[in-house]
Structure formats: C-alpha cells, structure tokens
Amino acid sequence: MQDCRQFYIDGSWKNPAITNDFAVINPANEQVIANITLGSSANVDTAVAAARKAFASYGNSSVEQRIALLEALLKQYMDRYDEMAHAISLEMGAPIDFSINAQADCGKGHIEATLAALKEFEFQRTLANAQIIKEPIGVCGFITPWNWPINQIACKVAPALATGCTMILKPSEIAPLSAHLFTQMVHDAGYPAGVYNMVNGDGLEVGAAISAHPDIDMVSFTGSTRAGIAIAKSAADTVKRVAQELGGKSPNIILDDADIDAVVTRGVKSCMSNTGQSCNAPTRMLVPESKYQQAISVAKAAAETVKVGNPAESGGHIGPLVSELHFNKVQAMIQAGIDEGATLLTGGTGKPDGLATGYYTKPTIFTDVNNDMTIAREEIFGPVLVMIPYNSEEQAIEIANDTPYGLAAYIQSADPQRAQRIARQIRAGMISINGGAHHYTSPFGGYKQSGNGREWGEFGFEDFLETKSISS
C-alpha cells in the first residue's frame, strides 16, 4: 500500500499539519491501494504563498530557461513512463494496454506539443506604435478529474510552466497516484521551489479554497458542469480568469450515404472506450430512419464483442468504472432509460457475469430513444449508447444541437464536402469526420455548457497569458 499523505509545497514534500486520511480504492477489486490526506484551506494558503513568491522570479524567466526545464521534465516522464501507466491502471481501472498506449501517452504528448509551441510562440510583436507583449498571468489554480488523470494534469501544467506561471494543483482524490508520480517528476526536473505545488483534497474544501483565493489569478477546471458553475461563482468575487472543460453529450451523425456496418461498429467501440468515461464520447448515435433497423443489428453485434475484464490484463477489453459512487450513478441512469420507455437492446443494470467484485458495468445500448429522454440529455459517463432515428439532414442537425452541451460531434459520410457543410452547422468545439483523430496540437474545448477557453498545443497558452500594450 502506498503512503501518499504528504503535499508538495515550496519545492519539497511536507506533512500536513492536520491529517484527514482518505483511502484510495482499486476499482477492479475494491481493495485499498493507497492513503492520501485531504487538505484544508490553510494548506492552500501555504501553497499559494509559495507560488506567489516564486512568480517574482519565474515569471521573468527566459524562454530558453523554460524550454530547458520542460525538456528535463519530458526526460523524467519518459524514464518513468511505464510506472505512470501502471499507476493510472491501478487508480482508475484502465486496462494496462490502454493505459500504456492511450492514458500515459497523454503526458508525453502534451509536454512535447507544449515544447514545440513554446519554441515558436510570439511573446512580443510591434503593431503600429505599440509593443504588444504577452506576459504570464500569475499564480494558477488547477482542479483536475479522475477519468484521464495525467491528460488533464499535463495539458494544464505544461503550458502554465511554458508561459512563466506558477501554480497549485488539486488532483482528483479518487485517482491521485498519477499526480503524485508526476509531482516527483517535476521536482526531479529541477523546477525552482514554489513554481509547482500540489495539495490533495476534495472539492468542497481545497477546490473551493482555490476557486475563491484572492492571490490566485486564474483557475482552470476540468469536470462536471455542475461543479464548474460552482467554481465560476466562487471565482467571481475576485474577478479571476476561469477556464473550464466541462461535460458533453456528443452526437454521432451517421448520414445515409455512410457504410453502416463500418461506422456503427466504430461508433459503438468509441463510445465504450475508457468504459465510457470520456467527456467527448460519442454517446448519441443519430441514424436515418431508412437505415435504423440495420444500424440496430450492427450495434448489437458490435457491443457484444466489447469484453469487460481485469485491468491488470491486456486484451483490448474495458475495465471497471472508477468508484462505487460512480457505479451507482451509472446504474441509476440505465434504470432511468428503462423506466422512460426506451428499448434496451443489450446490456442493462447489474454487473457482467463472473465479475461480482469490482465496479464493472455491462456495455449497454438503448434504441427507440427520443432526444427528450434523460439518457439522451444528461451525461451518463459510462458505457451507455443511445440510438436516435431522424428523418432528414435538417432534423439530424437540429437533434445534434438540441443539448446544453457543445464539446464534440462526429459525422460519418461518404461525401467529405457534405460532412464539412454539416460540421459548420454543429454548435460544438471539436468535430471529427469519418473517424478523424484529435491531435495534441489541436484545440480542445467546447461551446455552451461544455465550458470556455481551449487547451492543448499553442491554443493552451492563451488562458495563461495577459496582453500588455506599450505605446511610444
């Protein structure tokens, strides 16, 4: 069992003045694998003071100095890459092959993309009689979730370090092992004391203290829309900048000219990936009426090839949900779909056969769904797909946009120009056409209640910079 009860503040690991132990559970076997302690507002105060002090010098560091430090961090990450993958697999249940190939790759990808952007970024230019200067915003507070743990840490921390900001990180208390390992990497890379600080805790105590702290200049949060609203309200009193990547209910529009067998199969597997615990998962499959029965048959067959199993083993399967609390929420949403009259095509409530221990959930598909149902409107965050029929291209666009969210959307068509035309009409921040991948250099973020601001690559720099004009 790991002891992760220290916080990282002002360049060293420190014992909290008051311990408030919290058990970290392996979702695959429900066993305690580590202990952390939940911090307090006093711990936040200490960390913020260290970050404020460090900003006086780090905020004026040269681009060359920051490049050298990021390169050192990348080396530390690659030296302990496998350790990171295993930590993520243990803490949130990602199968080890998926953790190695996808989850842990995010840390590497974001540091590399940040380095490339930093080497090219224009921090100063002349416009008419003014020097336009981009300067670091100051002390940043980061609140990150458990579903892609190192992804959301790295895509905030790396650009903040690159632009000259200092920071305090509150990782998820449910999945903190990757954050502890990453923190040691930052330390070993040689960052000056106080530049990076990490305090464990829950949202009600540490998260709220970060959001409201008068000496924090910006807050970046990834998580639920509900929590994002609370953070924005808390931050308003100090008029700090708030960047948020929140929920999603992403449509997957299958057009009548698409290869139904191929695109439905791909859509099902994409929805189930990471056990459905991705904010940009294509959870609403929109299918033309003329192809609906064919799509249902293909979807059922595809879902029944999705295996559920032990994350310690490789094999292309999906693992458990992250926690008992989350398992119960997903089960309730599946039951809501049944109660509201949707047709359960496959899956359903309860655990898969042979998996009584662990927070495992059946891959589930509902048909005969309309866009007013709870399962079509609320983010389930589990391996649950809803299939919605439509009568015309215009109706497909209307259904796709009929959501409070606007993070991502997916379009499948044999006609690239048609797909591009529809993509322009979808109110979402990221559109994938025919399985197009989202690279670390592309902006990540959404419209409406999916948040504000953008992360990844050069687009992730802007939220960490102030713009100064000097005229002469």
Q: What whole-number distance in Å separates Cα of residue 411 and Cα of residue 409?
A: 7
Question: Of all helices (H) and strands (E), which one includes residue 96?
Answer: helix 96-98
In angstroms, what CA-CA distances link 198 with 1, 53, 149, 154, 158? 21, 16, 14, 13, 14
Q: Is position 120 annotated as part of the catalytic site?
A: no
Q: What whole-number distance in Å separates Cα of residue 28 and Cα of residue 37?
A: 22
Q: Which residue has the tokens 């990936």?
A: 273
Q: Could you give the angle at the alpha carbon of 266 between the alpha carbons of 263 and 268, nearest 5°? A: 110
In angstroms, what CA-CA distances link 269 with 249, 275, 318, 362, 429? 16, 10, 10, 13, 22
In angstroms, what CA-CA distances link 469 with 125, 163, 244, 460? 10, 18, 27, 21
Beta bridge partners of 141: 168, 219
- Identify the active-site residue in 245, 379, 455, 458: 245
Q: Please, are residues 403 and 379 in contact by the beta-carbon 8 Å criterion?
A: no
Q: Is position 245 annotated as part of the catalytic site?
A: yes
Closest CA to 16 of 6, 31, 26: 6
Q: What whole-number distance in Å separates Cα of residue 340 and Cα of residue 350?
A: 18
Beta bridge partners of 134: 467
Tokens of 176: 């903190």
Q: Please, are residues 250 and 409 in contact by the beta-carbon 8 Å criterion?
A: yes
Residue 313: count other Cβ atoms within 10 Å of its Cβ. Answer: 12
Tokens of 322: 């992250």
What sections of 173-323 are H helices per DSSP? 177-189, 208-212, 225-236, 260-272, 292-303
Q: What whole-number distance in Å separates Cα of residue 138 and Cα of residue 56?
A: 9
- Identify the active-site residue in 279, 379, 455, 458: 279
Q: What whole-number distance in Å separates Cα of residue 340 and Cα of residue 183?
A: 46
Q: What whole-number distance in Å separates Cα of residue 287 and Cα of residue 272?
A: 18
The residues annotated as belonging to the active site are 245, 279
